[in-house]
Chain A
Amino acid sequence: MSALLEIEDLQVTFGGTAAVRGASLRVEKGETHCLVGESGCGKSVTALAVMSLLARGGHRSAKRMSFAGTDLLSLSDRAMARIRGNRMSMIFQEPMTSLNPAFTVGSQMAEVLTRHKGASRGDALERAVALMGRVGITAPEMRLGQFPHQLSGGLRQRVMIAMALMCDPELLVADEPTTALDVTVQAQILRLLATLKRELGLSILLITHDLGIVARVADRVSVMYAGEVVERAPTAALFRAPQHPYTRGLLSCVPAPGRVRRDKPLGSIPGVVPTISPGFAGCAFRSRCAHADATCEHEIPRRVAGAAHDYLCRLAPTLAEPLPA
């Protein structure tokens, strides 16, 4: 059974710098897949590369990148444009600037449908109203004629989500959709996404740095570090038995009631994310890893730790080992 979105060994470079050095992940139909990592690890770039939205100067290559069986790498710009907004949609982190200030909300939403499905403007506006209601926007008819600057951040993000759903896409790529929003609004948006997934059978690739979000909404997780996907697992398995030292470090940084004691320092990962120069080989985490040895400077094996759970490390799986206190 092939996944909805399959990426194998994606590489993205900007000029001489490698932003993504080998990302592989699968998004199954109907699942919420979180791509998690800290700033600069390349997760947003991965999403942009999938959508072919890289900024000028960005080059991508991969062993395989396919969406619902179609090879994305060989598609022309025009063919890709027909898929974007249509079968694959993306929403971004900054709702305040992601909508065109010069056009009404209604016209910006309607043009997606008219473009891809040839719908009339009237039909498109009707669907826009319906979708805005679906995503919890009050008085949607009034919103049609409003301009983005008249809406709050949370409302704008809902508009973005509704706009992304205009053509009933199979996959929604969400790049940190709640990072720029208030905590309460965050929760609402996440709940909304979960509902939509359920009701529409939508598959979601959710980019985030927040493990809390991962715990809440993800079915499966891919952890990214310094341009590589270092661990992939179902959510429960990841939290219960993280294998890669980076993942374990990440999870130990999260203060959990019961695990954190008053006299012990909070968890942290020593060191900083290294800058990877061309020709780098081996594990990017080795400078910060307590278990590193000489073999970490060479090719790292991909190990399996359970059903659909793999990771990139020389260490053998340590099942159900509790995290350091």
Chain B
Amino acid sequence: MLRLIVRRLAVGLLVALTVMTLAFMLTRLSGDLAISIAGPSATQADVEIVRKAYGLDRPLTIQFFDWVGRALIGDFGQSYFFKDSVANLIAKRMPITLTLGLVGLSLALIVSIPLGILAAVRENTWIDRAVTMLTMVGQAIPSFWLALILMIVLGLHLGILPISGTGTWQHFVMPGIVLAFTAIPALTRLTRSGMIEAMASDYIRTARAKGLSRARIIFKHALRNAAIPVVSIAAVQLGFMLGGSIVIETVFALHGVGYLGWESIAKNDFPVVQAVVLVLAAIYIGLTLLADILNALLDPRLRTG
């Protein structure tokens, strides 16, 4: 298993380097950065001063390696607009994004797993079809729209939850619900199909032949096997959630990393944009590695040999 981890880490590092390259190229897309930073009213002389000050007069490759070198030790440079180091900015916002992600994932699992089990155990009945329909509708609803609807219903009419900002745990409820919403359809379907496959397997027939109770067969024997892919996919889903949190954070004005990305795009704050892309990618890579480890831990067949 150690070999597995080492190998995946090596690949992950390579991926991270590639993403770094892409992120670097991304911010150079708009052409001359110095002009963007200096602003529309700057003179040619101003632009040259800016260029020198931000090291933008150096050859592109030097700029790139400089950035990569510093990024590897966690130095993402200074933000152009916030008076702070990029690393600090991200570090300050990260807890919020992580909290949001975990809340969303927990809610998603709490809903998906029982729903998936129910649909599988009542396969092809109206319950199963209802669950299927629900997941289909759920997948079709745009998350930002759902956010607005929840704001109107829960925030305005019922007045039970705040509609923006951070501060109390209540601020995470609606965003958490919307985030969970994006993951529930896939997780439910995965649980359902995993359970159906498990319940049709030979070892479940053996369990029934042993006279075990139905509850024990479903929740111990079948679920234990069906859950393996669900758990590892959940880790990956968390990665997607964190990466896609930008929309939800923006709608709810939650000052997380996604919102930071949004603000820095609006302000052409390139170091921040680069760093946010890299950090989110690194988190995703880490989570997929975690997913593989979880898989190996949970499935005895992968553990030995």
Contact B208 A100 (CB under 8 A): no
Contact A98 B202 (CB under 8 A): yes
Total chain A interface residues with beta-carbon distance under 8 A: 30
Chain B residues near A102 (CB-CB < 8 A): 224-225, 228, 298-300
The reply on A97 being an interface residue by CB < 8 A is: yes
Contact A94 B202 (CB under 8 A): yes
Contact A84 B208 (CB under 8 A): yes
Chain B residues near A160 (CB-CB < 8 A): 206
Contact A86 B205 (CB under 8 A): no
**B212, B214, B216, B224, most chain A CB atoms within 10 A:** B212
Give bound CA distance, A103 to B210, whole Å.
15
Of all chain B residues, which has the CB nearest A90?
A: B209
Chain A residues near B212 (CB-CB < 8 A): 81, 85, 111-112, 115
CB of A55 to closest CB in B, whole Å: 8
Give bound CA distance, A84 to B211, whole Å.
5
The reply on B304 being an interface residue by CB < 8 A is: yes
Of all chain B residues, which has the CB nearest A102?
A: B224
Chain A residues near B301 (CB-CB < 8 A): 101, 147, 149
CB of A179 to closest CB in B, whole Å: 14
CB of B238 to closest CB in A, whole Å: 23
Interface digits, B280-305 against A, CB 8 Å rule (1 contact, 0 not)? 00000000000000000011110010
Of all chain A residues, which has the CB nearest B228?
A: A102
Chain B residues near A81 (CB-CB < 8 A): 208, 211-214
Contact B208 A98 (CB under 8 A): no
The reply on A155 being an interface residue by CB < 8 A is: no
- Which residues 220-253 of B have a CB within 8 angstroms of A? 221, 224-225, 228
Of all chain B residues, which has the CB nearest A112?
A: B210
The reply on B201 being an interface residue by CB < 8 A is: yes
The reply on B203 being an interface residue by CB < 8 A is: yes
Chain A residues near B206 (CB-CB < 8 A): 92, 98-100, 160
Chain A residues near B37 (CB-CB < 8 A): none
CB of B29 to closest CB in A, whole Å: 49
The reply on A18 being an interface residue by CB < 8 A is: no
Give bound CA distance, A252 to B12, whole Å.
66
* Given A147-B304, A149-B300, A149-B301; A101-B211 close (CB under 8 Å): no
Contact A150 B304 (CB under 8 A): yes
Cβ 8 A contact of B202, one of A51, A92, A103, A112: A92
The reply on B23 being an interface residue by CB < 8 A is: no
Contact B211 A53 (CB under 8 A): no
Contact B205 A100 (CB under 8 A): no
Give bound CA distance, A57 to B212, whole Å.
21
Chain B residues near A53 (CB-CB < 8 A): 205, 208-209
Contact B210 A115 (CB under 8 A): yes
The reply on A305 being an interface residue by CB < 8 A is: no
Residues on B close to A: CB < 8 A? 201-203, 205-214, 216, 221, 224-225, 228, 298-301, 304
Residues on A close to B: CB < 8 A? 51, 53, 77-78, 81-86, 89-90, 92, 94, 97-103, 111-112, 115-116, 147, 149-150, 160, 163
Question: Which 5 interchain pairs have the tightest Cβ spacing?
Answer: A85-B211, A84-B211, A85-B210, A97-B202, A100-B203
Identify 17 new A-B residue pairs, CB closer than 8 A, beyond the known A101-B203, A102-B228: A53-B209, A81-B211, A81-B212, A81-B213, A84-B211, A97-B201, A98-B202, A98-B203, A99-B203, A102-B224, A102-B298, A111-B212, A112-B212, A115-B211, A115-B212, A149-B300, A160-B206
A-B contact pairs, 23 of them (CB 8 A): A51-B209, A53-B208, A53-B209, A84-B209, A84-B211, A85-B209, A85-B211, A89-B209, A90-B209, A97-B201, A98-B205, A98-B206, A99-B203, A100-B203, A100-B224, A102-B228, A102-B299, A112-B211, A112-B212, A115-B210, A115-B213, A116-B211, A150-B304
